[in-house]
């Protein structure tokens, strides 16, 4: 049997075969590495794509308006109480718009322009100022500085996310001559060659500039270029003075998308740059994301109401699910006799932990709302629905923690004459507490991220006010994310991402707490 030829370590066939097998071995290892790489890169892609969007929403542009609180507008006859002032959003808004009309006289030329300029500031954006003034009515008649968020599309444009555009600088423009048709002739040796080059490149890339705009800006002035040649071009001034272009190198922007298809017009872009040049636009952290409630205007929207709603919902869930879960676990682990009923309870718990969350939503809609007549959209009902989902998780974790307490602790306590109840609650449960607590936190973290069942009990309604009790109409963070993600305007995308980051931060905090507790109290018997 022992074939001398086969028994050498290095017969050619054996080695050849071995090489093949070793290669298969290496391949297999790479399959594993590849799988892990794919899973991790999916996670990284998710975090990066959402994170980068969120960063853009973390700051926004606000515009400063120096206005005088004209009593005729702010406190018209018969509307002079502080409540009236706080409600007079239109008056404050008119003052801010008039301030823009003053700054840009050309906006007065027609109705369309007036509408364009009034889009800079949303009516509701003056509400904080109105409230401030209402609190100190003596301010009426005095000049104040009103700061309000810039329109969300222009904000996005300034962040470079609204429109693809190519930026470059012109050569020096030496002569500017106004012409009779309202246009101006710009001249300069080779001043517009860079634009012509860029146009050729764009054409080569298949981008048509036929209906696009070429804007140039110098100082506070911006205009649209036509009939470009290397040394001359015709300028349609949008805002500012022609003088600004004389002896300057202007910043040029090539926007391929036709004006009619955009959310921001050339004129609005021109005004935005003018305001920026005046130092009236600044980019500031968007704290309103956490201090405002939901709004139909992305520049005003925030998650405060949803945060508070989540807090109330979690409070109800915790108060119901954690005690019931722990007590049920104690019963099953320490007291339950081994019989059919206990087995049935166990089967139920294991299955409940795997029932799709939306089924709990149906249960909530049918039992809590339809049968018991509880209010729709309320954190109370949401919390109760989530509690039913969470308590099996708490039971399973608590039972594992109780199981890990060695029997010697029980026999020790029983031996000195403690009753079973005393043994369990004085000795076993305290020892299992860290494990029970981590299980409870993990269950709550899962409940905090849950969306689907809450949709079914009406927590998806638009809620503009911060709820003050668990029975108020309310929404929660994940549902707010869902609602925002469904909104059409582009500006909601970064807002949604930012809200997701807030939610993930809370979840991370909860999980961090779990890791900390485990490290601190981990005990092996």
Distances (CA, A) of 238 to 10, 111, 160: 86, 16, 21
User: At 217, is the secondary structure helix, strand, or coil?
Assistant: strand
Between 30 and 178, name the residue whose CB sits nearer to other proteins. 30
Of residues 130 and 454, the one with the C-beta less far from other proteins? 454
What part of residues 46-75 is at the interface with other proteins (CB under 8 A)? 46, 49-50, 53
Is residue 61 within 8 A of residue 155, CB to CB? The reply is yes
Window 193 to 212, contacts with other proteins (CB under 8 A): none
Tell which one of 280, 306, 478, 498 touches other proteins (CB under 8 A).
478
444's tokens: 């709550």
Compute the CA torsion angle 350, 356, 358, 362 (nearest 10 deg): -50
Non-local CB neighbours of 428 within 8 Å, separated by 6+ positions: 334, 402, 405, 409, 410, 413
Tell me the closest approach of the beta carbon of residue 46 to other proteins, in angstroms.
Answer: 5
Q: Provide, rounded to whole angstroms, the least separation between the CB of residue 349 and other proteins.
A: 5
* H and E: helices and strands count for the chain: 20, 10
**C-beta closer to other proteins: residue 230 or 513:** 513
Instruction: In angstroms, give the least distance from the CB of 475 to other proteins.
Output: 12
Site for other proteins in 313-352 (CB under 8 A): 323-325, 327-328, 330-332, 335-336, 342, 344-345, 348-352
Our CB check for other proteins shows the closer of 183 and 484 to be 484
SS3 of 471, please? coil
* 356-395 positions binding other proteins, by CB under 8 A: 356-363, 365-367, 370-375, 388, 391-392, 395
Q: Which helix (H) or strand (E) holds 367?
A: none
Sorted by sequence, the CB contacts under 8 Å of residue 301 that are 6+ apart come out as: 288, 289, 292, 293, 294, 295, 484, 495
CB of 215 to other proteins, least distance (A): 29
Residues 12-42: b if buried by 16+ CB within 10 A, e if exposed: eeeeeeeeeeeeeeeeeeeeeeeeeeeeeee
Tell me which residues in 392-451 interact with other proteins (CB under 8 A): 392, 395, 419-421, 445-446, 448-451
Interaction residues for other proteins, span 141-160 (CB under 8 A): none
Rule CB under 8 A: which of 5-44 touch other proteins?
A: 6-9, 13-14, 17-18, 21-22, 24-25, 27-29, 31-36, 38-40, 42-43
Site for other proteins in 485-514 (CB under 8 A): 485-486, 493, 496-497, 500, 503-504, 507, 511
Rg (CA), the chain: 34
Asked whether position 468 contacts other proteins by CB under 8 A, the answer is: no
């Amino acid at each position: 049997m022992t074939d001398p030829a086969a028994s050498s370590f290095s017969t050619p066939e054996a080695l050849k075969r071995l090489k093949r097998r070793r290669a298969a071995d290496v391949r297999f290892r790479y399959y594993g590495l590849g799988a892990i790489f794919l899973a991790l890169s999916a996670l990284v892609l998710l975090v990066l794509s959402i994170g980068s969007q969120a960063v853009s929403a973390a700051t926004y542009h606000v515009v400063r308006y120096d206005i005088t609180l004209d009593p005729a507008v702010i406190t018209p006859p018969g509307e002079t109480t502080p409540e009236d002032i706080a409600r007079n959003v239109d008056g404050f808004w008119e003052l801010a718009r008039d301030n823009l009309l003053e700054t840009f006289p050309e906006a007065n030329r027609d109705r369309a322009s007036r509408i364009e300029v009034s889009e800079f500031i949303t009516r509701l954006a003056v509400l904080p100022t109105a409230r401030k003034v209402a609190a100190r009515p003596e301010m009426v008649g005095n000049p104040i500085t009103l700061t309000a968020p810039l329109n969300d599309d222009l904000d996005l444009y300034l962040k470079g996310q609204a429109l693809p555009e190519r930026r470059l600088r012109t050569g020096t423009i030496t002569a500017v001559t106004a012409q009779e048709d309202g246009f101006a002739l710009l001249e300069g040796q080779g001043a517009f060659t860079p634009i012509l080059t860029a146009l050729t490149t764009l054409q080569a890339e298949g981008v048509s500039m036929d209906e696009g705009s070429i804007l140039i800006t110098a100082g506070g002035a911006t205009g649209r270029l036509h009939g470009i040649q290397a040394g001359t071009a015709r300028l349609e001034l949008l805002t500012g003075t022609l003088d600004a272009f004389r002896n300057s190198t202007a910043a040029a922007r090539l926007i391929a998308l036709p004006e009619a298809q955009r959310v921001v017009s050339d004129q609005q872009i021109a005004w935005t740059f003018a305001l920026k040049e005046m130092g009236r636009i600044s980019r500031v952290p968007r704290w309103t994301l956490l201090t405002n409630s939901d709004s139909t205007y992305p520049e005003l929207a925030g998650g405060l109401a949803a945060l508070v709603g989540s807090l109330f919902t979690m409070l109800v869930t915790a108060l119901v699910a954690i005690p019931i879960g722990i007590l049920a676990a104690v019963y099953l682990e320490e007291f339950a006799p081994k019989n059919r009923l206990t087995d049935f309870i166990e089967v139920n718990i294991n299955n409940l932990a795997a029932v799709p969350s939306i089924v709990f939503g149906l249960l909530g809609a049918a039992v809590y709302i339809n049968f018991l007549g509880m209010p729709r959209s309320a954190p109370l009902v949401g919390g109760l629905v989530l509690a039913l989902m969470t308590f099996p998780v708490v039971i399973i974790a608590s039972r594992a923690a109780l199981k890990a307490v060695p029997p010697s602790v029980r026999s020790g306590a029983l031996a000195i004459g403690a009753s079973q109840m005393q043994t369990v609650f004085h000795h076993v449960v305290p020892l299992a507490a860290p494990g029970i607590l981590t299980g409870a936190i993990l269950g709550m973290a899962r409940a905090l991220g849950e969306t689907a069942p809450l949709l079914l009990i009406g927590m998806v309604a638009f809620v503009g006010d911060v709820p003050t009790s668990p029975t108020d109409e309310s929404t929660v963070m994940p549902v707010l994310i869902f609602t925002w993600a469904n909104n059409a305007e582009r500006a909601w995308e970064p807002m949604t991402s930012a809200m997701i980051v807030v939610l993930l931060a809370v979840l991370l905090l909860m999980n961090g707490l779990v890791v900390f507790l485990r490290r601190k109290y981990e005990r092996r018997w």
